Chain A
Amino acid sequence: MAEWFDMGKHTWFVWGSYGVFAFFIVAELLLLERRRRTILQRLSRTSRMNSGVNDET
């Protein structure tokens, strides 16, 4: 297993590239999912608020 990750004298360059690449992809996906969740949460909060107002009237 360890020898797979051994890229000779180029280990840092290869894994530095792939690592940062993977980091950015994962970060983009996580941020996107979080953004979606915040939007939905905010929307459901406002809709609950509005329905509450309607019940009272």
Chain B
Amino acid sequence: MNINWFKYASPASFYPLAGKMIPWFAIPAGILAFIGLVMGLFVLPPDFKQGESYRIIFIHVPAAWMSMVIYLAMAFWAIVGMVWNSRLSAMMAIALAPTGAMFCFLALWTGALWGKPTWGTYWVWDARLTTQLILLFMYLGYMALHAAIEDPRRAARASGLLAIVGAFNVPIIYFSVQWWNTLHQGASITPNKSEMAASMASVMLIMAVAAWLYAIAVALKRVRCEILDRERHASWVAELVTKTGQVHG
């Protein structure tokens, strides 16, 4: 069996493929999120130590994971785009960024709201929260650079390079922040993994998978927009528009 993967590396053939793939990710994401929410919010009893506030963990942890994973995925697509000089990979990197930044912000927000009842303060300079904040700055810098460059080719390549440099730095930043944190004996959030009940862990896992599928579905949808925008002068886009134009009347 010899699938020609490079066929799908061209935006023209990836556009319809992405359209067909979206429901395969979006529908399971919706179902899993629904199950996870019902379990996490209504079925599971309150935690004996943290009370009701532990329910925030079910969205906080997946958001934090996704923000890291999406940054790495961005850097991965940027590297692929740079090595094979493929436009589609560069578009994938750009399509992922807003979702990653959103999850990054949500991880900070839910972390703050979880911290208030748990430690009595909205913000602590904990190693993970601080790294998350710096990661948010890196997302914003990436998107600002991409938005500031008008030439789409230069924008894609420049922001791709920034993503790669940033991805090399994320582990160094995490390590240094953690070290800085222990030095200053700040608070450390370690949701005790050994203590976590199996039911709680499974809800968290369900929510994480849902977030993962959601991110893929949204990135595919956004990459379709990106392709249409970038390829608007291509003949296949014109054909597509006349076809859908008839459908819409």
CB distance from A25 to the nearest CB of B (A): 7
Report the separation of the CA atoms of residues A11 and B102 in the bound assembly, to the nearest whole angstrom.
23
**B52 near A20: Cβ-Cβ < 8 Å:** no
Q: Which residue of A lies closest to B244 (CB)?
A: A40
Contacts of A17 in B (CB 8 A): 56, 59-60, 109-110, 113-114
Binary contact track A20-42/B, C-beta < 8 Å → 1, others 0: 11001100110010011001100
Cβ of B245 within 8 Å of any chain A Cβ, yes or no, is yes
Contacts of A16 in B (CB 8 A): 113
**B53 near A47: Cβ-Cβ < 8 Å:** no
Contacts of B106 in A (CB 8 A): 20-21, 24
**A39 near B51: Cβ-Cβ < 8 Å:** no
**B99 near A35: Cβ-Cβ < 8 Å:** no
Cβ of B229 within 8 Å of any chain A Cβ, yes or no, is yes
Report the separation of the CA atoms of residues A40 and B245 in the bound assembly, to the nearest whole angstrom.
9
**B218 near A29: Cβ-Cβ < 8 Å:** yes
Q: Which residue of B lies closest to A46 (CB)?
A: B232
Cβ of B204 within 8 Å of any chain A Cβ, yes or no, is no
Cβ of B20 within 8 Å of any chain A Cβ, yes or no, is no
* Interface size band for A: 20 to 34
Q: Which residue of A lies closest to B118 (CB)?
A: A13
Cβ of B182 within 8 Å of any chain A Cβ, yes or no, is no
Q: Contacts A8-B51, A18-B41 given; indicate if A28 touches B218 (C-beta within 8 A).
A: yes
Q: Contacts A36-B221, A36-B224, A47-B241 given; indicate if A14 touches B53 (C-beta within 8 A).
A: yes
Task: Contacts A14-B113, A44-B245 known; list 18 others, CB within 8 Å.
Answer: A7-B52, A7-B53, A10-B117, A13-B113, A14-B56, A24-B105, A28-B218, A32-B218, A32-B221, A32-B222, A39-B229, A39-B232, A40-B244, A44-B241, A44-B244, A47-B242, A47-B245, A48-B245
CB within 8 Å of A: which residues of B? Answer: 41-42, 46, 51-53, 55-56, 59-60, 63, 98-99, 102, 105-106, 109-110, 113-114, 116-117, 214, 218, 221-222, 224-225, 228-229, 232, 237-238, 241-242, 244-245, 248
Question: What would be 28 A-B contacts, judged by CB atoms less than 8 Å apart?
Answer: A8-B52, A10-B51, A10-B52, A13-B116, A13-B117, A14-B41, A14-B52, A14-B53, A14-B56, A14-B113, A17-B56, A17-B114, A18-B41, A18-B56, A21-B106, A21-B110, A32-B218, A32-B225, A35-B225, A36-B225, A36-B228, A39-B228, A39-B229, A43-B237, A43-B238, A46-B232, A47-B242, A47-B245
